[in-house]
Chains A and B, each alone.
Chain A
């Protein structure tokens, strides 16, 4: 299990491979915001403070949307496009909106 710490809400969720960040947010009652849920609107943008490599690769669309925001976006992810791909480790997330 990977431990996902949602910093803004002070919630720690243990979740297995394949679990999406959206499932994690919903099940834990986190206040993480979602808009379109398909990677278009950037509402669900979050900073991965730790453990980026435990998540799936950024999708092509995601890379495009993040680029539009400008600046250094290497530590950012769209939560609606992210899921856990590793067995063990720790992820620390802080959301922006």
Chain B
């Protein structure tokens, strides 16, 4: 069997499918040449395990590959590393064909399973340390939640030193040559996938890497794109670096970043922003900065948001709304971890002035901490009102530095 491209080793085979036509994945991701839905078959002396399935519309290809390698009666386990439809699409059909197969999912997947398959399926739950045996092959499970679904887990095939990493280390990159040392240059796709899928869960990436570090890994078998066999550590190091490089300013200088983002047509909100920043910057241990949303592109926004401990957004009210760049800024939070960040909103207005409160509410849904009420000022700010802006910025910065908030309701 070796020498056959689909064989990672004598007993582990690629049975995934290719989707060269796909250009937009999960609404948010672009792919220049398609992708793959990887699935793997592991054969042991006492049966077969199928590691994930594929997107439903490609199931016939999947079953053809599977049938070439095993009988359905031999399948002892079906492992779903997470339940997303691009990998669980052929599950029901596979379960119906494989009479002795036991489904293995993570604990967090239990509640989801019902919502997804709409029928009762027997399953077994795996968490870190659980193993299953195929006779001469042992698969150990690792709980690696939130990468990128809450129920994500990984697994490790001891005898072959293969890590089944789920979507972690994936790329939306189509190349039937399969292996990282044989395919074209997929480095952009590997990074793009990380940025769009894993970056919001950096903290969990680092936790997963700690678990992976306990194993000697010869091959990483992800669920999309090339199989990484040339030098797995290279890819692990990349993930480690990307996941820990955030907040390099804080690590380097020990300061907290308070960022004021604003947009202004007649300079009223701009004047407020200036004072908010000054107020914040007075606080020991804080570096405050301000940025005009009119000139920030998306990548800058994402980087700045990530670096910032507190995010203060200023927008005038225009036609009963905050301005679009302010919404665009906040929608960049989809790529980031928000928990723990402090938010606040302000703006100048003419007659209704709902923008700051709308931004404040939006930040609440994004799980910001919002200890200070929105600040709005009618048209041109007076000297007194500018002092309020200073106090507003200072208060946000002090809370960012750990000041306790006390109030009565």
Contacts and interface: CB of A to CB of B under 8 A. Distances in A.
Interface in A1-31: 1, 9-15, 19, 23-24, 26-31
B409 A24 contact: yes
B283 interface: no
Contacts of B339: 31
B367 interface: yes
A10 B407 contact: no
Residue of B340, B372, B409 most packed against chain A (CB within 10 A): B409
Contact of A15 (B367, B368, B372, B408): B408
Interface residues of A, number: 18
Nearest to B408: A14
Q: How large is the interface on B (under 10, 10 to 19, 20 to 34, 35 or more residues)?
A: 10 to 19
A30 B409 CA distance: 13
Interface stretch (B15-23, B187-195, B227-235, B398-406): B398-406
A45 to B, nearest CB: 14
Give the dominant DSSP class at B's interface.
loop
A41 to B, nearest CB: 9
Interface of B: 339-340, 364, 367-372, 399, 402-409
B371 A11 contact: yes
A29 B259 CA distance: 19
Interface of A: 1, 9-15, 19, 23-24, 26-31, 33
Contacts of A15: 408-409
Give the dominant DSSP class at A's interface.
mixed
A24 B405 CA distance: 13
B369 A30 contact: yes
A31 B363 CA distance: 10
Nearest to B373: A29
Given A10-B404, A11-B404, A12-B404, A29 B409 contact: no
